A and B are shown apart, each in its own frame.
Chain A
Amino acid sequence: GAVVSQHPSWVICKSGTSVKIECRSLDFQATTMFWYRQFPKQSLMLMATSNEGSKATYEQGVEKDKFLINHASLTLSTLTVTSAHPEDSSFYICSASGTEGEQYFGPGTRLTVT
């Protein structure tokens, strides 16, 4: 149980275009989902907390107009990277909170902006 999926697993896009990443909790409902960014050989950095039916809470330094988060249902949250630039290339990981406070992580999405 407690499986979280992400789609796509990797994407290459041109600079200036937008990319949408989906995060789904497959076998449980998650009122709260989290979006992280991970640079090579580094730890995860929390970008935002996504709550179903309300606006996301962004961490300091994260541009909310660039990284659009929508949590439209209890099983789906999306992250849209708008007007992507090469510096946005990274590994994006989502997680969904379980009933006991733990987080279940998706497999990640590798974004490369050319």
Chain B
Amino acid sequence: AQSVTQPDIHITVSEGASLELRCNYSYGATPYLFWYVQSPGQGLQLLLKYFSGDTLVQGIKGFEAEFKRSQSSFNLRKPSVHWSDAAEYFCAVGAVNYGGSQGNLIFGKGTKLSVKP
């Protein structure tokens, strides 16, 4: 079955510290992987995506993620966290159907990030 697992429900880091949010997926085909961020009461903003090619992808706001097929992982990282990064982070896996149309996304349960001053 297709699924996404985010093992950490809540993570707290100090401002300026590095961050890694874990994501593992189970998907039958070659996955398309995404990280989204959601601030309280808001919709989701796309941070980055992986379709193919270089397994280390760069996103907005200084985030990056690395696709590791052997580990079925797509962990999100940031070298130095800012207080404004406090939010909920969702990993998602999906498929692009034949012809390039978007299939639905399967979301993990999210990781809440708190940032200590």
- Distance between Cα atoms of A40 and B108 in the complex (Å): 15
Say whether B104 contacts A108, CB under 8 Å. no
Q: Which residues of A contact B70 (CB under 8 A)?
A: none
Say whether B43 contacts A106, CB under 8 Å. yes
- Distance between Cα atoms of A37 and B49 in the complex (Å): 22
The answer to whether A27 has its CB under 8 Å from any CB of chain B is: no
Describe A's contact surface by its main secondary structure: strand
- Distance between Cα atoms of A49 and B106 in the complex (Å): 13
Residue from A31, A46, A95, A107 within 8 A of B42 (CB atoms): A107
Say whether A102 contacts B43, CB under 8 Å. no
The answer to whether A89 has its CB under 8 Å from any CB of chain B is: no
Residues of A at the B interface (CB closer than 8 Å) are: 4, 6, 31-32, 34, 42-44, 46, 49, 93, 95, 97-108, 110
Residues of B at the A interface (CB closer than 8 Å) are: 32, 34, 36, 41-46, 49, 51, 90, 94, 96, 100-105, 107-110
